[in-house]
Amino acid sequence: MRMRLIAAAASLALLAGAPAHAADAQNGRKLFMEHVCYSCHGTTGAGGGAAGPKIAPGPLPLAAFARQLRHPNRMPPYTEKLLTDAEVADIHAWLSSLPAGKAPSQIPLLAK
């Protein structure tokens, strides 16, 4: 898992021309909360309907995730001024670390 995160961070770094960064999922969670990402996407990235799509579990690949943050369609843009590439990678690492939830078939209230 750790290797995968480093590799993902490296791909973002290549995108941005910066040195590779060992992503820190714990810092990513802290940043997610500090930047109030949860207001639209929920506290675990599960999404908020029309307010914001699901971004976890199973986020976009880091490069696409970073592109969406830097050049979004609807959401506020998060440029380098607000989030460095390393911080983006940290957030992505945290979102990637979140376990897949139950399938609807495993939830009685959704299986009916």
Binds other proteins (CB under 8 A): choice among 1, 17, 34, 73? 34
In whole angstroms, how close is the CB of 53 to other proteins at the nearest point? 10
Does the footprint of other proteins cover residue 60 (CB under 8 A)?
no
Contact flag: residue 54 with other proteins (CB under 8 A): yes
Interaction between residue 76 and other proteins (CB under 8 A): yes
Taking the C-alpha atoms of residue 93 and residue 86, their distance in angstroms, rounded to an integer, is: 10
Least distance to other proteins, CB of residue 74, Å: 9
Min separation Cβ 54 and other proteins, Å: 6
Per-position DSSP letters for the chain, written without gaps between them: -HHHHHHHHHHHHHHHT-------HHHHHHHHHHTTTHHHH-TTS---GGG-----SSPPPHHHHHHHHHS-SSSPP--TTTS-HHHHHHHHHHHHHSPP---GGGSHHHH-
Contact residues: other proteins, CB under 8 A: 34-40, 42-44, 46-52, 54, 57, 75-79, 81-82, 101-104, 106-107, 109-110
